Amino acid sequence: MCSGKDEKYFKNISPRERAIFEGAITMGALFHQFIGTPVSESSVKSLEQAIKESMELQPCIDAVEVNIDFGNSGGGNEYEYVSLTGEMLDIKVVSSYQGVRAVTRMRYYEELNYPLMYVESVD
């Protein structure tokens, strides 16, 4: 939820740009905060939920969907966990500001060999 108290700091951008900014900054924070986190098949759901709940606390964020795919983990090890990588994440962040809704996304794309962050849609 956006409080509006910070509007004076964003007066040089449109509501559309602000909605996109909030989603993008949340996506960047999520990526750099959680990459490297140890995760196992038994802890994956709790990590997905922790990422979702913590990122939904960010300003102007309405919803976060998190899916961790072990198929892109590079395999396990004798300790039965892997370190979370960008290749394992499929994330959707829904942000809104003054009636404008933006959906930012991060997914691994095989043809790019890269976990791409992008604006999926803006209403």
pLDDT at 71: 76
pLDDT at 18: 95
Does residue 3 form part of some domain?
no
pLDDT at 6: 87
Tell me what percent of the residues of the chain surpass a pLDDT of 90: 83
Lowest mean pLDDT among 4-8, 15-19, 100-104: 4-8
Does residue 7 form part of some domain?
no
Q: What is the pLDDT of residues 21-80, one digit of tens each?
A: 999 999 999 999 999 999 998 999 999 999 999 999 999 999 999 999 987 665 566 778
Does residue 79 form part of some domain?
yes
Overall domain count for the chain: 1
20: its two tokens:
């996109």
pLDDT at 79: 76
Cα gap 91→107, rounded to integer Å: 7
Does residue 31 form part of some domain?
yes
Handedness of CA 43, 49, 50, 51 (dihedral sign): positive
3-state SS of 28-93?
A: HHHHHHHCCCEECCCCHHHHHHHHHHHHCCCCCEEEEEEEECHHHCCCCCCCCCEECCHHHEEEEE
CATH number for the domain that contains residue 61 = 3.30.1300.20
Q: Containing domain of residue 98, as a range? A: 13-122
